[in-house]
């Protein structure tokens, strides 16, 4: 998926009007008594929420509630379509693995690759509780590698759903490749999507080379507001190459089970 540029190092401190780009992943920084969830965009990293552990880590009930609070804070963003998550914790601690074990035990659907609501998790040593720590973390080669790995896997999963739509003769899926058709579909206030999951995918090259960036960004924002799962994917990945063959942008729906 989209590569996080090193400009992210400075943008965590810049004013809100700075161009943030498109969503790439989520970064969860877990410390002894708190957690911070950051939204990683192609140009910036923004703090989404900070959570505090009420009590001590040795209190099993308190730790369980803390992990549940982190999972609850992630859920709305996962529903929007960003499902690449990097979990960090300081060296010589088990905070990240403790949280991932909690997810595996109590939210196993998030780790099941065949589940359409699954997410891709990765763990990284480091602190992500303060802007200056995040600024250092996102510069590292390992962080960029993890982002590439998790977002690529996430996009591949969505592409599999698209391929099933394209190959199904009697499918109830809707697949659109024209920007105008996609706009008409998304902007239609009368459409009913309660029985379907909707996806909008485009390549970063399509977005970068377009002469109508404002039009596309408006489509992305309105799609997000209408609960369409939107993703901008790296053109060089397998998913990106497949979308490029379809013209660089695709909208499709999958009937809910």
DSSP state letter for 3: P
Q: Domain-by-domain residue ranges, the chain?
A: 8-152, 154-255
Q: Kindly state the tokens that stand for 221.
A: 């924002």
pLDDT in tens, 98-114: 999 999 999 988 877 66
- DSSP E strands: which ranges in 53-90? 84-89
Pair 245, 208: CB distance under 8 Å: no
Q: Residue 110: what pLDDT? A: 81
Architecture label for domain 8-152: 2-Layer Sandwich (3.30)
Q: What is the mean pLDDT of residues 80-89?
A: 86
pLDDT in tens, 4-58: 443 333 344 434 444 677 788 899 999 999 999 999 887 789 999 999 999 999 9
Predicted confidence (pLDDT) at residue 3 exceeds the cutoff of 70:
no
Instruction: Lowest mean pLDDT of 42-46, 116-120, 202-206, name the range.
Output: 116-120
Q: What is the mean pLDDT of residues 120-137?
A: 90
Pair 90, 127: CB distance under 8 Å: yes
Angle at 227 between CA 2 and CA 182, to 5 degrees: 75
Q: How far apart are CA 75 and CA 118, in angstroms?
A: 11
Say which CATH superfamily domain 154-255 falls into. Ribosomal protein L30/S12 (3.30.1330.30)
How confident is the prediction for the chain on average, in pLDDT? 83
Q: Kindly state the tokens that stand for 87.
A: 């979990």
What's the distance, Cα to Cα, between the start and end of the chain in Å?
A: 28
The residue ranking higher by pLDDT, 168 or 203, is: 203
pLDDT in tens, 151-174: 777 677 788 888 888 887 656 788
Predicted confidence (pLDDT) at residue 91 exceeds the cutoff of 80:
yes
Q: What is the mean pLDDT of residues 161-189?
A: 84
With left for phi above 0 and alpha for psi between -120 and 50, is residue 254 left, alpha or beta? Answer: beta
């Amino acid at each position: 998926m989209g590569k996080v540029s090193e400009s992210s190092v400075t943008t965590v401190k810049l004013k809100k009007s700075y161009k943030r780009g498109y969503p790439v992943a989520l970064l969860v920084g877990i410390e002894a008594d708190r957690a911070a969830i950051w939204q990683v965009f192609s140009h910036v990293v923004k703090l989404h929420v900070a959570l505090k552990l009420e009590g001590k880590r040795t209190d099993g009930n308190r730790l369980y509630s803390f992990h549940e609070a982190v999972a609850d804070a992630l859920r709305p963003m996962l529903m929007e379509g960003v499902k690449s998550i990097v979990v960090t914790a300081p060296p010589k601690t088990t905070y990240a693995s403790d949280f991932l074990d909690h997810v595996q035990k109590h939210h196993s659907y998030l780790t099941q690759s065949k589940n359409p609501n699954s997410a891709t998790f990765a763990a990284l040593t480091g602190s992500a509780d303060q802007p200056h720590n995040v600024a250092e973390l996102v510069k590292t080669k390992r962080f960029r590698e993890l982002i590439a790995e998790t977002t690529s896997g996430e996009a591949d999963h969505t592409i599999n759903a698209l391929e099933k739509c394209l190959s199904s003769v009697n499918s109830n899926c809707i697949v659109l490749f024209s920007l105008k058709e996609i706009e008409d579909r998304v902007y239609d206030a009368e459409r009913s999507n309660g029985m379907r999951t909707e996806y909008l995918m485009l390549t970063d090259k399509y977005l970068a080379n377009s002469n109508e960036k404002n039009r596309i960004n408006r489509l992305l924002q309105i799609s997000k507001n209408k609960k369409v799962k939107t993703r901008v994917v790296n053109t060089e990945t397998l998913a990106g190459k497949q979308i490029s063959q379809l013209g660089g942008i695709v909208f499709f729906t999958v009937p809910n089970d």
